[in-house]
Amino acid sequence: MVSELDSFLAKGKRKKLIEKLRGKGIKDEAVLEAMNKVPRHVFMDNAFLHHAYQDKAFPISAGQTISQPYTVAFQTELLQVKKRDKVLEIGTGSGYQAAILAEMGARVYSIERQKELFQKAQKTLHKLDYDIHFFFGDGHEGKPQYGPYNAILITAATGEIPENLLEQLKPGGCLVAPVGQSGNQVMTRISKSETGEYEKTNHGMFVFVPMLRGTVNDK
Ligand code: SAH
């Protein structure tokens, strides 16, 4: 971690946030450890420390949001990522979730449909020295040329899980996505067995910005 981008104050606030996440039921130590390391304030325009380390979503550019820390922790825990796993993220946004996955040792591929965010996240992650593969495009297509993936994470609300993405999962892998219309969605985990069968489990209600079709080029 590049030390000049972090501070003792931020580290202290992060530690408190981690305890809050633990209190809310996050148990995976690898997830908590990664969240304790990644400086969330660096991903936000107004890097006010009290905003960055509250357990709240926050606006970023292009009318989008950086997910609430609890939501990031919850989705990451459901993914059960191991070191060296290949993970595909749909909806790079600020790049914070991608950084958490990279910090856990995953090989991360992340797609964003808004040019402005795609460029900004790339810069942020580069400053922090994370080696992540970013793509500008519509995540509905996935990235078959780099797959199959051990895990796929959708960080925008989708009415249904794109078939394309399920096909890009390795046997033994899983996909996590908030499924539903605008307003609220059911956190859904789909695992793919070694023989290619799917099993779906539900994990409570969340609120995400929508997964939309096509790309936005303006900057
Ligand atoms: N993971 C992000 C939070 C993302 S908010 C973070 O850690 O900050 C959801 C993001 O998904 C937004 O940036 C939005 O532009 C993007 N998005 C929505 N539909 C998409 C699609 N079809 N393909 C790729 N990205 C999409």
Q: Which of 64, 65, 87 to mutate to test the pocket of ligand 1 (most atoms within 8 A of CB)?
A: 64
Q: Which of 61, 67, 191, 193 is catalytic?
A: 67
Give the SS3 label for residue 152.
Answer: strand
pLDDT at 218: 76
Domain ranges (residues) in the chain: 2-206
140 in contact with ligand 1, CB cutoff 6 A = yes
Q: How far is the CA of 91 from the centre of ligand 1 (A)?
A: 3
Decide: 162 in ligand 1 pocket, CB within 6 A: no
Neighbours of 214 (CB within 10 A): 9
Q: At residue 12, what are phi and psi to the nearest 5 degrees? A: -65, -45
Fold of the domain spanning 2-206: Rossmann fold (3.40.50)
Q: Which of 31, 37, 36, 44 shows the shortest CA–CA distance to 16?
A: 36
Distance CA 20, CA 15 (A): 9
Residue 219: what pLDDT? Answer: 60
CB 100 within 8 A of CB 72: yes
In terms of Cβ atoms closer than 10 Å to its own Cβ (0-12, 13-18, 19+), residue 201 is exposed
- Ligand 1 center from residue 8 Cα (angstroms): 31
Distance in Å, CA 177 to ligand 1 centroid: 12
Q: Give distance in angstroms: CA of 212 to centre of ligand 1.
A: 9
pLDDT digits (tens, 9 = 90+) for 99-145: 999 999 999 999 999 999 999 999 999 999 999 999 999 999 999 99
Predicted local distance difference test score (pLDDT) of residue 32: 98
Q: Considering only CA atoms, which of 144, 70, 74, 117 is closest in space to residue 215?
A: 117
Q: Which segments in the chain show pLDDT lower than 50? A: 2
Ligand 1 neighbour 168 (Cβ under 6 A): no
Length of the chain: 219
